[in-house]
Structure 1
Amino acid sequence: MSAESAAEARGPQETSGGGAQGWTLALVCAAMFMLMLDVTVVNVALQDLRTSLGADFSDLQWVIDSYTLTLAAFLLTGGTLADRLGRKRVFNIGLLIFTLSSLAAGLAQDVLQLNLARGVQGVGAAVLFSVGPALIGNEFRGKDRGKAFGVFGGIAGLALAFGPLVGGFLTNSFSWRWIFLVNVPIGLAALVVGALRLRESRDPRAHGIDWPGMVTFGAALALLVLGFLRGESAGWGSAPIIGAFAGSLVLFVVFVLVERGRGEAAMLDLSLLRIPTFTGISLATLLSNATSLAAVFLQISYVQNVLGYSPWETGLRFMPMMLTLFVVAAITGGMLNSVAPGLLVGLSIAFIAAGMGLVTLVEPGSSWTALLPSMIVTGIGMGLFNPPRAAVTIGVVEPEKAGMASGMGETFQQVGVAVGIAAFGALFHHRVVDSFVGSPTGAELGSSAAEVGRLAATQGDAGAAQAAPAALADQVSAAAEAAFVHGLTDVMVVCAVVAAVGAVIAFVFIRRRDLHESALGDAASPAEETVAAL
């Protein structure tokens, strides 16, 4: 690439000091905080939504699913468009979409309006998720890039920690509407900053928009995620679910054929998949997020449904994990240029696997503190993982293609979350029901045991006891708690094994020599040069 093209692609950051870098990092972190908050904050308000809007169970599912589907489907599209149309422009458009759809969700008068707004909100979120890391990668180089991604990863962890707290506070003190409306002033302020302080960057060699690729990839991903989201409720062997998976497979094949035929005009550079580091970080991201987020989701369910804590109280008890994540992520950013990326990512997922294994310390009758060892170790792993994950994903490509690489990386991350929660959630549900039905109490209940077991999986021991005859309430409660705990620990062991596979993949495939020069430090010490060869 010529010097002129490089200057156009990267903008004036190398001559204008660090002011724009600071504003860019602050803006991307603010957007990430808002997005990660939105991932968790909605769950605590579902009961109020049901009452206020007269929604049934299927409606409530779509409050979550409509957002998840559009988020997953538009991640790669958002990143690719940013490379071609300009990252500042596309990022600000994403902010506008997310802010206006948050306003529409907060003002919704029925559940259909809410779900439509949530679908649009997912589009805006996809753009912000995919373009944010590319903006950081464009502004920062070398060691500064590592530190920036450390802050970025830490802010994401804080948002996950504060989500239940903020959701519980807004819902209890005001209304469920404010979990959406709170995004409006933040989004408007971010729009002003984005318009005034962000610098534009794009790929000067980019071709026109790849509409066939965008349509086929988005539809394929939407069908895949939908199949996992609805597989448990509709039946994994049902015609709609099999049809969704089959349609997804066909569309993915069509997408690959389309991209091969479009050459340099393709939205996804398929040659990336031949780079061991890109394939390794993508698979590691998929497995890490599929297991860690599913584990956190099930542990939150345990603390709320078995131990009986409110969303606010639950959020407080998970603060040790998230604060550990924040501190470790901030420290990790400074290590990215001195530690081999494969070693860093592999160790991070190994910590996550060990943390999930420590959930086996929980027994029926345990207090929440039995989770503390798991929380701390998992928090270390998640804090170690986020900065190198984002940096390596965009580091394998030249800066002009950072949006595409970031969008692909975020796709693996979000699909991992959706698939993990659906798959491990279904396994957990199955194990709890089986454990309860096979218990002496289940045998005593006879034909109604399976239904009570299902209540134990979704509502804990209190929900199961309410559905049992009064004379057996205490007995059913104890059996339901035991089934819940055994189901949780069984699934955590499976999650730990899957995460360990992700760690091995990271150790084997992620190599510093595959990174683009823009992702490396300006000057390496002899020790660092030795590590860099790995």
Structure 2
Amino acid sequence: MRKWGPLVAVCLGTFMLLLDVTIVTVALPAMAGALNASLSDLQWVIDIYALALAALLMGAGSAADTVGRRKVYVVGTVLFALASLACGLSTGSGMLVAMRCVQGVGGAAMFATTLSLLGSHYQGRDRGVAFGVWGSVSGAAAALGPVLGGLLTQDLDWRWIFFVNLPVSVVAVVMTLRYVRESRGAAGQRLDVWGTLSWTVFAGAVTYAVIRANAVGWGSSRTLVMFVVAVLALVAFLLVERKVAHPMLDPRLFRGSSFVAVMLAAFALNAAAFGVLPYTSIWLQTVLGFSPLKGGLVMVPLAAAAFVVAALSGRLLHGAPARYTVGGGLVLIGAGELAMTVLKGSSGWTALLAGLIVAGVGVGLVNPALSQAALASVPPYRAGMAGGSVNTFRQLGYALGVALFGTLAADRMARSLTGHAPDPHGTAQALAGGGAQGILAHVPQSARAATGLAMRTAFTSGLDAAALWAGVVGIVAGVLALWLVRPQEHQAPPAGPAADGTPAVPDRAGSAV
């Protein structure tokens, strides 16, 4: 156990934090009913967690290299557990969103250290085994999230999707303290405080602007001000990163077309493949009347296809150029999303089946190749930076995908409801937020059949619009990857190995959803 204890400790934490990216998807309708949450509230419940990961992942990795990776991992796990408890005890949507943010902070501290800890404990063949097991656990967490969330929500209560983290956290902390030794990065490395702050402001401002745009308007002063703040924060981030001695993301890497294309691919992967799924889950449960478990099982074809194809492609396509696997996979994701734009008011879940499978095949092709493509696009001594960056862009893609596609879906629902509801915009907001049954309860019995058909038609038109744009994102990103990703030649590193004597770890922060 002493040999593989570090692997078990790290995998427990990884499974838990990645499970919480997707586990809330099928619990959204139950949360909306219990907390009287709006569409915007539900978007933030999902987005704030992914946003905290995206905003703090690189900064947390930098902090861990400075103060100690084991220490940061343990502190992050404890913070994650306490926030999970608070999420489960939430009495309102505001409290839940706030605690999900704290959860994301803890998750970022854990996620940023996982592979660095494994890299400091295993060498040679053992390292390959450890990274392979870690990758399988990461994929399983994303796949099991909707199903486990459905089971807990249906048989217990939605709060248990958070309470279940507590015993896992305790075991992870105990095993980490017992089996994992401390390690650090290069001597003299400092935390990039201003870079972390400016990146956090950028990510938060742009996500807030997109989520609020449907309520206040894309051209409103509030939306435009937030976009201006986001642009200014991004400029500040780039300026800071050019000046600091140890940047968490060196802007000069963006001079390479391959690096740019890989970051766009990482963003598009999570946005296109997963950004529409929360609203699909709401449609399944609140419009079609599925149970949380049955709603979660509908997502299984995507997860199963991704899992099988990832396993096969790792064997059969080993050594294949990354531009074909990444670019081709993104095109398939886009095609799968376009195949789901066939919903009508009378459609059932089987209308999604073909598109889910095609998108899952695409995810399975992209996932194993994306991190390697990121590493190949930078000099070897920037491997940790590339790993952290690719996962930062993945989480940012998920956060913005959920925000953007939800806003587009609600806008399309409002247009479909014009002439069928006295307040199309408000009705669309309530419908997209899981309030279908509440709307019908206030409609006279004689008009419920017509109102129900109008709502089903409106919701499916919204899903079609969101899936259409998700498909466009996937295909455009895939074409850019096919065009721009190329093998690179790099100069030798300017510095020696890490302070603890361990070689460079290819990927500081995981590669799952």
What TM-score do you get using the length of structure 2 for normalisation?
0.84
The letter of the residue matching 1:309 is F
Q: Which has the higher helix share?
A: 1
For residues 102 and 302 of structure 1, the distance between their equivalents in structure 2, rounded to whole angstroms, comes to 26
Greater Cα radius of gyration, structure 1 or 2: 1
1:477 maps to 452
Choose between structure 1 and 2 for higher RCO, CA contacts under 8 A separated by at least 6 residues. Answer: 2
Distance in 2 (alpha carbons) for counterparts of 1:40 and 1:446: 33
1:391–1:28 CA distance, 2 compared to 1 (3 A)? farther
Q: In the TM superposition, what are the counterparts of 1:206-245 in structure 2 within 5 Å? A: 206-245=188-227
Q: In structure 2, how many angstroms separate the alpha carbons of the residues matched to 1:117 and 1:458?
A: 20
1:268 maps to which residue? 249
2:53 counterpart (53, 71, 74): 71
Counterpart Cα distance in 2 of 1:464 and 1:50: 13
Gaps of at least 5 residues in structure 1 are 1-17, 522-534
Contact 1:324 1:380 (C-alpha < 8 Å) held by counterparts: yes
Task: Say whether the 8 Å CA contact 1:148–1:333 is kept in structure 2.
Answer: no
Calculate the aligned-residue CA RMSD, in Å.
3.5
Deviates more, 1:471-480 or 1:143-152: 143-152
Letter matched to residue 306 of structure 1: V
Equivalent position amino acid for 1:356 in 2: E
Quick check: 1:493 aligned with 2:468? yes
Are residue 364 (structure 1) and residue 345 (structure 2) matched?
Answer: yes
What residue number does 1:130 align with? 112
Q: Deviations over 1:477-527 (max 9, x none)?
A: 223323332332233233212211111121122234358999999xxxxxx
* Deviation (angstroms), 1:74: 0.9
- What's the CA shift for 1:32? 2.9
Give the count of matched residue pairs: 496
Alignment partner of 2:368 out of 377, 387, 408: 387
Give the conservation status (yes or no) of the 8 Å contact 1:62–1:115. Answer: yes
Matched, 1:509 2:490: no
Output the amino acid matched with 1:181: F
Matched, 1:277 2:252: no
- Alpha carbons 1:452, 1:467 under 8 Å: kept: no
Quote the offset at 1:34 in angstroms. Answer: 1.1
Decide whether the 8 Å contact of 2:19 with 2:142 is kept in 1.
yes
**Offset from partner CA, 1:438-495 (integer Å, 9 cap, x none):** xxxx3xx474555545555444865654454433322232233233323322332332
- Once the two structures are TM-superposed, the CA of residue 412 in structure 1 deviates from its matched residue by 0.8
| Structure 2 match to 1:7 | none
Whether the 8 Å contact between 1:213 and 1:259 is mirrored in structure 2 is yes
Query: What CA distance in whole angstroms lies between the structure 2 residues aligned with 1:335 and 1:143?
Result: 20
Superimposed CA distance per residue, residues 123-151 of structure 1 (whole angstroms, 9 cap, x where no aligned partner):
11122233334555667789987876665
- Matching residue of 2:390: 409
Question: Percent identity over the alignment?
Answer: 37
State yes or no: 1:423 paired with 2:404.
yes
Compared CA separation, residues 366 and 143, structure 1 to 2 (3 A): farther
2:309 pairs with 1:328: yes
Alpha-carbon spacing, 1:367–1:292, altered in 2? closer, same or farther (3 Å): same
**2:214–2:410 CA contact under 8 A, matched in 1:** no
Deviation for aligned residue 1:284: 0.8
Residues 386-415 of structure 1 deviation map (CA, whole Å, 9 limit, x = unaligned): 222233334545666544333222221111
Gaps of 5+ in 2: 493-502, 507-513
Cα gap change, 1:197/1:336 in structure 2, threshold over 3 Å: closer, same or farther?
farther
Q: How does 1:85-100 map to 2 (within 5 A)?
A: 85-100=67-82
Question: Can you list the C-alpha shifts for 1:415-452, whole angstroms capped at 9, x where unaligned?
Answer: 11111111122112222222332xxxx3xx47455554
Q: Which amino acid aligns with 2:410?
A: H
> In 2, Cα distance between the equivalents of 1:87 and 1:391?
23
Cα deviation digits, residues 269-311 of structure 1 (max 9, x gap): 2222223332211011112221111232333233223322111
CA distance in 1, matches of 2:262, 2:5: 28
